[in-house]
Amino acid sequence: MLDLRRQYEPLRQELLQAIGHVLETQHFILGEPVAAFERAAAQQLGVAHAVGCSSGTDALWLALAGAGIGDGASVITTPFSFFASISAILRAGAAPVLADIDPATLNLNPAAVETVLEGTRGPAVKAILPVHLYGQCADWTGFERIRAASGLKLIEDAAQAWGAEWQGVKAGSLGDAAAFSFYPTKNLSAAGDAGMVTTNDDALAERLRTLRQHGMRRRYFHDEVGWNARLDSLQAAILHVKLKYVDGWNRARRALAKRYHALFHAAGLVDCGPWPEHGIVLPHEFIGSRHAWHQYVIRVRRRDALREFLSERGIGSEIYYPVPLHLQQALKGLGYAEGDFPEAERAAREVLALPFFPELRDDEQQAVVAAVADFLS
């Protein structure tokens, strides 16, 4: 699926030097390396503020808490994402409300959100939290239209979308705030856990910086209850080195996606979608959006059998995500049932992520496509 050593090898000297520098200073928490990385990251994304923090999960919580979304608020999000997209809403004290996905992109569908908004009772909806799933921006034109009509806040879960764009604007500066993750498998990755919130709002940025260290502006004087959600200097130093390369890696991802596309078409395996019939449905790049290609995810009917078949041939694959959020054991209390979000449920049965990382070789891609072709024949 992913061989991180191929990224590490050519960067070894540079990374060891950066780590060595932090060790020499013995300044580990929110030091100068954090500030330097934040400045460089904000510049690359074209956003006013970048606030480093301890994980993508904490970035989501910070973005919500910073925007004042807590007790008595509801937040609309997608049932088809990583668990943190919804658990962060609960952790902030708000109530999650779900709306179904668009089967073509697997992202939260603005039309479904509008329907939910018309019918929602209970705590007032204060924000929408779309996820840029697999590295492709959610339909931001649709969400902007809802914001214009309703005044709701838009918070991006951009954990998978470093470098993605919607009509020329980078993920991270589309919404009121955005959350990034630098988990080791993400497009820009730390050597452990790390995350970041971005925003163009000066006051919000200031509040995020306070919230990430126990609501403390002056040492041991606490203005409000925050949390320990800090980024440490070692991770920041490593991320700052990798920041120079991530655009190049994303270009390599784009070329690999194009190549998978061509190979699957040449093999005659492609259904036109959005649902698979006899072959596979390929991931689709929306017009006007620039996909960051975090994952290359196909849809196929006998998904579990294909996964087993690939595994027997030594080919890795992964399911993001096998259980939609409304059917998770931990979220039974939300009161949703099977059948509530048919597109998310169907996607959870059909999606399969194929081996995909910038250093993936041609022969490896060919072997994957040949194996899928054998399975389907």
Ligand X SMILES: *Cc1c(COP(=O)(O)O)cnc(C)c1O
Task: Candidates 5-13, 154-162, 223-231, 250-258: pick the segment binding ligand X (CB under 6 A).
Answer: 154-162
Phi, psi of 300 (to 5 degrees): -150, 150
Task: Candidates 141-149, 156-164, 263-271, 302-310: pick the segment binding ligand X (CB under 6 A).
Answer: 156-164
If one asks whether residue 55 binds ligand X (CB under 6 A), the answer comes out as yes
Q: Which of 181, 189, 295, 365 binds ligand X (CB under 6 A)?
A: 181
321: tokens are: 């995500």
Task: Candidates 53-61, 65-73, 207-215, 242-250: pick the segment binding ligand X (CB under 6 A).
Answer: 53-61
Which residue, 60 or 369, has its beta carbon nearer to ligand X? 60
Closest-CA residue to 144 (of 163, 166, 122): 166
* Cβ-closest position to ligand X: 56
CB 46 within 8 A of CB 171: no
If one asks whether residue 160 binds ligand X (CB under 6 A), the answer comes out as yes
If one asks whether residue 44 binds ligand X (CB under 6 A), the answer comes out as no
In angstroms, rounded to a whole number, what is the distance separating the alpha carbons of residues 324 and 328? 7
Residues 190-219 contacting ligand X, CB under 6 A: 193, 195
If one asks whether residue 84 binds ligand X (CB under 6 A), the answer comes out as yes
A 10 A CB-CB count for 97 gives: 20
In angstroms, rounded to a whole number, what is the distance separating the alpha carbons of residues 144 and 73? 20
Which residue, 58 or 176, has its beta carbon nearer to ligand X? 58
Which residue, 73 or 138, has its beta carbon nearer to ligand X? 138
What does the per-residue mask of binding to ligand X show for 64-83, with x meaning CB under 6 A? -----------------xx-
Task: Count residues binding ligand X (CB under 6 A).
Answer: 15
Residues 123-152 contacting ligand X, CB under 6 A: 131
Q: CB-based contacts of 312: which residues, under 8 Å, 6+ apart?
A: none
Which residue, 52 or 56, has its beta carbon nearer to ligand X? 56
Which residue, 156 or 350, has its beta carbon nearer to ligand X? 156
* Chain residues in the site for ligand X (CB under 6 A): 55-57, 81-82, 84-85, 131, 157, 159-160, 181, 183, 193, 195
